[in-house]
Amino acid sequence: MEISALQKARYHYQPKLPAIFSEKTEEIAVSFGEATGSIADSEALAELFKLSYGKPIACFVKGKNEKITRPLIVGVILSGGQAPGGHNVIAGLYDGLKKGNKDSVLLGFIGGSSGLMEDRALELTEEIINKYRNTGGFDIIGSGRTKIESLEQFAASLETIKKRNLDAIVIIGGDDSNTNAALLAEYLSARGSNTRIIGCPKTIDGDLKNEYIEASFGFDTAAKTYSELIGNIQRDAASARKYWHFIKLMGRSASHITLECALQCQPNLCFISEEVEEKKLSLGQIVEQICSSIIKRAANKENFGVVLIPEGLIEFVPEMKKLIKELNELMADDGAEITGMTDFNRQTQWLDSRLSRESSGLFKTLPPEIARQLLADRDPHGNVQVSLVDTEKLLINMVKKKLKELKTQGTYSGKFSPLAHFFGYEGRCAFPSNFDADYCYSLGFTSFVLIASGLTSYISSVRNLTAPVDKWIPGGIPLTMMMDMERRHGSSKPVIKKALVDLEGKPFKSFAEKRETWAAETCYQYPGAIQYYGPPEVCDQPTKTLMLEHS
């Protein structure tokens, strides 16, 4: 297969590692802190995780660790959506295993957790690993969204573990995948298995983070990739001077990507779902904010602009949240009946008698194409797939209608030519930035040390990320420490709590201080392409979010 010049160059990039990993492998020891608790629901979680709850935080120090050089057989799983840097986690894990003992073996389970349950694995060799170093995607072994949930699935996993004689499994995924990792670790321990389970924090949405997981990998690259595209559109808008661009960005539950892109690019408007929910902003109020900016800019003969919208925005608008909740419940009980209706008017009539008066009225006011999207197939949790709802087009439709009213009243005389965009898959498999290449490689190497030191039910952690790489602090955080209990499908389930945008945090406050100026004036920034080579202040910087949080 022919490869690009950039791909060849990225193969040869040597990721940097924290200073502790420059020691001889057998001189990297583990130091433990105090016992930990969960962020909430400690009694319920202690009961569920009898053998793994309350473990201490693990740090690496210089000292004797004779266990670390034993030969190991380790499995690795990529779980959930793709994120830039996953290949480097596997490369760091592989290199750590081989540094510990050249006879160690790394098996990649094909297609996510189903590969473990069905015993589909590939031995990852130097030749294979070298083809994927510093590249985007999860194509080395593929990913999947199947979770190990039923007793049969747990039993099938244990069968593969025994058959393969696995010493450990590393599960690379987001909050749900790492919750699943904790459940698997507990299941194995309860059955006398010595196989260790280590998680690794992945998601471009940036919502798997806390004091000890400062960033989930892939967020840095995805945000920079989207920011490059937004900057290109802003340059075009400022050149053509006649289009309003409405750009929807990844992030269902949290708006971290949208906020980071706003900090990078300084668009005219940016909506943060968490603030919309906090202030209980209606669709009408959101439209009024957009129209206010359009009118101010038209007065300066600037009939162009850029609006950033998080993917999950509509679920945070109170009246839309109520409608979606009611629709989810109806679809769960009578989904086959309503999807079996081919006529949209019949569907609307059917819903009219089952939705609340407010929700039925709102549903009827939505453009038909948006209303149909709200009735589309649900995700595995039974929720509407918000990425399939054209929120950007809904807002364009409502803004057009409002501006038409204002023109009739004589309070607006500008031109409004809107264009809609959705940046999603463009960022999930990009070549990882230098930051993500280094961070992921460090997470993989950290996973090896945790495994080789005999730890289980931990997530790989690398902290102090705004410092140079050699000053990064690797270690392990108990998975149960990040959990609480949530109601899902009518029952309480353990989950790793999603980190939403903190409206009192420095990143949001920095944005909020400037947005009034951005709404009226053209203050665009153009981040340009991700730079892999050049001065450190260009190519090695972390996100503005991280820099503000740690300033």
Annotate 439-458 with DSSP letters as a single string: HHHHHHHHHHHHHHTT--SE
Going along 232-378, which residue ranges are E strands?
A: 244-249, 269-270, 305-310
Mapping DSSP onto H, E and C, the string for 138-174 reads CCCCCCECCCCCCHHHHHHHHHHHHHHCCCEEEEEEC
Bridge partners (DSSP) listed for residue 405: none
Indicate if the alpha-carbon torsion angle 279, 282, 285, 286 is positive or negative.
positive
- Give me the residue label for tokens 């920079």: 224
Whether residue 177 contacts residue 199, with contact meaning beta carbons closer than 8 Å, is answered with yes
Residues forming beta bridges with residue 106, ordered by sequence position: 74
* From 175, 205, 390, 436, active-site residue: 205
Please give the structure tokens belonging to residue 509: 């406050």
Active site annotation includes 205: yes
- Angle (CA) 540 544 545, round 5°: 125
Q: 464-479: b or e for each residue (b if 16 or more CB lie within 10 Å)? A: ebbeebeebbbbbbbb
Residue among 107, 131, 104 at smallest CA distance from 119: 107
Q: Are 245 and 211 in contact (CB under 8 A)?
A: no
Residue 180 phi/psi, 5-degree rounding, is -60, -35
**Residue 60: beta bridge partners?**
30
C-alpha 283/C-alpha 279 separation (Å) is 12
Q: Residue 270: beta bridge partners?
A: 308
Q: Could you please report the per-residue DSSP string of 385-443?
A: -GGGS-HHHHHHHHHHHHHHHHHHHTS------EEEEEESHHHHTSPPPHHHHHHHHHH
What whole-number distance in Å separates Cα of residue 38 and Cα of residue 15?
A: 34
Cβ neighbors of 334 (< 8 A, separation 6 or more) are: none
Return the structure tokens found at 158: 């244990």
In terms of Cβ atoms closer than 10 Å to its own Cβ (0-12, 13-18, 19+), residue 171 is buried
**Cβ proximity of 324 and 314 under 8 Å:** yes
Query: Residue 177 in contact with residue 190, Cβ under 8 Å?
Result: no
Show which residues are catalytic. Answer: 205
